[in-house]
Amino acid sequence: MATLVFDIETSAQPLDNFDEAQQEYLFRECEKFTDEKEKCAKRDEITRFMSLWPFTSQVVCIAMLNPETLRGQSLFVAEDFEEVDDEKAEVKFVPCADEAELLAQFWDAAKKYDSIVTFNGRGFDVPFIYLRSAILNVPISKKNWLGYRYATDPHCDLAEQFTFYSVSGRDGAARRFNLDFYCKAFGIESPKRAGVTGMDVTTLMAEKKFREIAEYCLRDVKATVELYKIWKERLAGIK
């Protein structure tokens, strides 16, 4: 059964994309503050989190690997979308003209796989790409990826597996950590080693560092592959 490990990167849309009513709705919480500094701080916080919501953001990169062969690709939105990567490379970097093309290419590749592995994909990546694809009217080739939460087929979400489905809440023995923390705990090279995090993507987009985003996203996927192997060998089957 073919398995795909993938991760996405997202970037906030410009505020100009939203009309007056939408902006009022987004920043309504700011009006609860009378102090101008607190109001501005809240506005900055909401602006930062806009990159995490599919109705205020966009997918700018999807990296994917087959964990058995370690072959795959990193699709990314770029201005120079005619760039040609090394055809013999195990992982190809594929620039796309826009988000719709990126999603279309991803769903075309996804058709070849029976199952997926993610880190927090059930809570973020999968619903995000479903909604963005629906907004852009991009056909979705796999509509069963949210699946039954307490099953690892067709979707093994490692964030849920390493917390045993949040069995002990926020502060218990199985509390959730981020991917970077798990990697360091298990001796896996951290995808954050280059100093880039998901919250930097909007800034990198503005700076036109498109390939840098694609490389960072691929590092996340490679780390997820290694964490998946550890889970599969040492923890799979624990109930």
| Sequence spans of domains, the chain | 3-11+57-234
pLDDT of residue 192: 78
Q: pTM of the predicted model, to two decimals?
A: 0.94
Query: Which pLDDT does position 82 carry in this prediction?
Result: 60
pLDDT of residue 222: 97
CA distance 134 to 155: 20
CATH class of segment(s) 3-11+57-234:
alpha beta
pLDDT score, position 168: 85
pLDDT at 200: 82
Q: Where are the beta strands (DSSP E) in 69-189?
A: 72-77, 91-96, 115-118, 155-157
Can you give the pLDDT at residue 171?
Answer: 86
The 10s digit of each residue's pLDDT in 83-96 is: 556 666 899 999 99
Query: In the chain, which residues have pLDDT < 50?
Result: none
Query: Residue 136 corresponds to which tokens in the numbers above?
Result: 């852009």
CA dist., res. 81 & res. 201, Å (int): 18
